[in-house]
Each structure stands twice: as C-alpha cells, then as structure tokens.
Amino acid sequence: MPAIAAIQTHAAKYSLLEAELPDHGLVTLGVLLQDAEFDRLHLRLRRDLDLIAGEDSDVLAALAGDLAAKAQELGTERFFAYLEDALSNTIRITGREPVLVHNFEWSLNRLFRQHVASSVRQFETHLPLYSLRAAAGRFLENEEVIEEGWEEIPENLREKLYPDMFVAHIAGSSMEPRIPDGSLCLFRAGVVGSRTGRLVLAEDRSIHGFSVKRYRREGEAILLESLNPDYPSWRLDSEEDKYRILAEFICVLG
C-alpha cells in the first residue's frame, strides 16, 4: 500500500488586531497570519462588530478589505512595519509571534479560537460543539444533550448554517491527510441523497465507537473506507443495526 506523505510545515508569524472600545475596553478584533514564504496575508475578523463597536462597526467591518489591499500593495513585511507605525492607540496590533503552519486556513482558524471570544449567535454565526457520543444522542435518540460550547464559523464558509449542523473534534489518523488527527470538523446530521463517495460519520454500535469513513458500495456490500492505507476499512455485515450513519462530513475547520 502507498505510504501517507509526511505533513510539511512552514514557519509563519501572527499578530492580534486589537481595539479600545467604549464600554468594552480592550478587545481582540481578529488575527493576522503572515505567510512570508509566499508573501501572503491571511486575516480573520470577528463577526459581532455591530454588537461591540456601535456606530464605528461599519469602519471596523471595512478593515478586512482595507488590510488585505494594503498587504498586497506593500508586501507582508512592509505591511506589518506600516501597521506597527501607523495604527493609533485605539486600533493596534500585537508583536508578531512565531507559529508552525501546515494549512494556513486551518491554522488561522485555530489561532482565532485561541485568542478571540466573540458574541454567540446560535446557528447564525456559531454552531454547537459536541462530543461524538453527545452528537449521536442529540440527533438520533432525541435526547436533551448539553453542548460543550459554541464555535464561531468562518464567514467565508459557503454552507448556510442550520440546526442539524454541529462541530466535533476527530481523533485518529485513518482519514489523513484530508482530515488530520485532532481536527475540528463540521458535520450535518443525516445524509441527503446518495451516500456513495461521501465522507460520513459512522458509529459501530457493538463497541460504541465512532469514525469518519468514505461510504462506498461494492456489489451488494457496503464499505466504509479509511483514506489512510495503514488503517482498516469497515464492511457492513448482515447485522443491519450494528452500524449506523450519523452525519455527513462537510469540511475541516482547523
């Protein structure tokens, strides 16, 4: 079987964009992640500026476009030097910190989760974070399950948010490199239409184990396949209630 390629990392730096706001004090607006190798800026701002910034919310909301355009004009190194000199005491950035990055979008989302605490708007900007066992109860057994928290979903996500969507951490390497061990992933309960070729969250009820697999038909049999050849796939046997499909995988959030 072919081996999974080693995950490559890149040295990068990030800063936090901060603002001193009336009634809120110093708040973190977002994260700036510098890809010096390819001279690119990755930026994510919080989505509740209308709640925390009042009449200044439109100005702050325009920051993302303004900063991206300035970084493209100057190049990232000159851009950060410009910000360090030009920003006021009201809006400023922190010193750049080193970070190792595999995927810049995922790393940006992780840094955002670590450093930014925004207002929760349920199923508008945020989705519930569940353990996989809790998700099974919530969506299949209609149990009252307490979520572990609410995760802000990136604004550039193409999917509209619905109450049957949730996020969960995935442990294990069976779906690498597409889904790295420890990833926070987005799911939608149930699978609409054909499951063939899709990645699904499945439960082996005999051991109460959960796994993300690729769903595939092989004649009359159904296979739940691992993408990593070092891990086994599951063949659905005649015990129809041994396995059940909980949700469809949508994407890795980071």
Q: Are 179 and 172 in contact (CB under 8 A)?
A: no
Q: Each residue's pLDDT tens digit in the chain (254 positions)? A: 444 445 678 899 999 999 988 888 899 999 999 999 999 999 999 999 988 888 888 888 888 889 999 999 999 999 999 888 877 778 889 999 999 998 999 999 999 999 999 999 999 999 999 877 655 555 555 445 556 899 999 988 877 899 999 999 888 888 888 888 888 999 998 777 778 889 998 887 776 677 888 998 877 778 888 899 888 887 876 556 777 788 899 999 98
R_g of the chain computed on alpha carbons:
21
- CATH class name, domain 126-252: mainly beta
Domain segments of the chain: what residues?
10-115, 126-252
Query: What's the one-letter identity of residue 224?
Result: L
